[in-house]
Amino acid sequence: MVIDFHAHILPGIDDGAKDLETSIEMLDKMKKQGVDLVVATPHFYADRMTVDGFLKNREKAYEAVESRRRDGWPKVMKGAEVAFFPGISKAGRVRELAIEAESAEPSAKGGSEAAGSGDESPPGRGAALLLEMPFRDWDRSVEQETISLTRGGLFVILAHIERFMRPANEAAIERLLARPNIAAQANANSLADRRLARKLVPLFADGKARFIGSDCHGVRHRPPNLPDGRKALLSALGAEFLARLDEDNERFLEELCRKKQA
């Protein structure tokens, strides 16, 4: 199954698809490209929005897209691209932003608090969070908080890891990706870039990067382009590798859903 793990296809919710017509064009394009499933990952910024507000907007945008569903479109799963913030590992409600994680009980405080309020609701089981790491150099607390997020069963996917692969972060990236509940996602256009591919392909070969995303934002600017990344992996690591990656990705999402229902 061909899966796009990172896409801003939902309309009017972030700097991605600006309206429903754009979303429709993007999904038409994905269909032509042979994408079977796309995880919709609008940006979540804890300092600018609440979890409740975000989930409400995402649901509205998702429903709008589904109301116009066309034959052959990829299945759309709901997720978020959550920007790291200090205290994230203690913000219980962040788990509600994990891929297809079911909402926990509605907040007793009426839902007005931000994700970082320290709400200690139990962590969701079997959920995966697409995490956008800080763009400044990572210190120990960034690394520790990322590890703490995985306690309680949360799987952490480091979004477009290539943007952070610089000498200051090298050791931390190595330590984080050595952990069983953390893996990297790479953007298709980066895999298609020879210079970046030299760093990314070994991560895929070692199983430390396991997910590809288009990180698409529109039709003309940053369009859906998953095949560009897949082609690059195909030529670097072969057809068998790519088929295994697809199977692994499918199993990964199945597992998340199963655990959620358990």
Interface residue list for Fe ion (CB under 5 A): 81, 215
What are the structure tokens assigned to 124, written together?
Answer: 């969701």
Nearer to Fe ion, 81 or 119 (CB): 81
Nearer to Fe ion, 119 or 215 (CB): 215
In whole angstroms, the minimum distance from the beta carbon of 146 to Fe ion comes to: 18
Nearer to Fe ion, 150 or 214 (CB): 214
Which single residue brings its beta carbon nearest to Fe ion? Answer: 215
In whole angstroms, the minimum distance from the beta carbon of 210 to Fe ion comes to: 17
DSSP secondary structure of 214-249: --B-SSSSS---HHHHHHHHHHHH-HHHHHHHHHHH
In whole angstroms, the minimum distance from the beta carbon of 45 to Fe ion comes to: 12
Q: Under DSSP, is residue 206 helix (H, G, I), strand (E, B) or coil? A: coil
CB 160 within 8 A of CB 215: yes
CB 226 within 8 A of CB 39: no
Nearer to Fe ion, 4 or 119 (CB): 4
Q: Which residues contact 21 (CB under 8 A, 6 or more apart)?
A: none
In whole angstroms, the minimum distance from the beta carbon of 17 to Fe ion comes to: 12
In whole angstroms, the minimum distance from the beta carbon of 214 to Fe ion comes to: 9
In whole angstroms, the minimum distance from the beta carbon of 163 to Fe ion comes to: 10
CB 120 within 8 A of CB 91: no
The position carrying tokens 């709400």 is 119
What are the structure tokens assigned to 140, written together?
Answer: 């120990």
Nearer to Fe ion, 8 or 29 (CB): 8
Nearer to Fe ion, 82 or 177 (CB): 82
Q: Which residues contact 43 (CB under 8 A, 6 or more apart)?
A: 8, 14, 15, 80, 81, 83, 132
What are the structure tokens assigned to 228, written together?
Answer: 């560009």
In whole angstroms, the minimum distance from the beta carbon of 68 to Fe ion comes to: 23
Choose among 112, 44, 111: nearest CA to 78.
Answer: 44
Nearer to Fe ion, 96 or 215 (CB): 215
Strands 43-44 and 75-78: unpaired
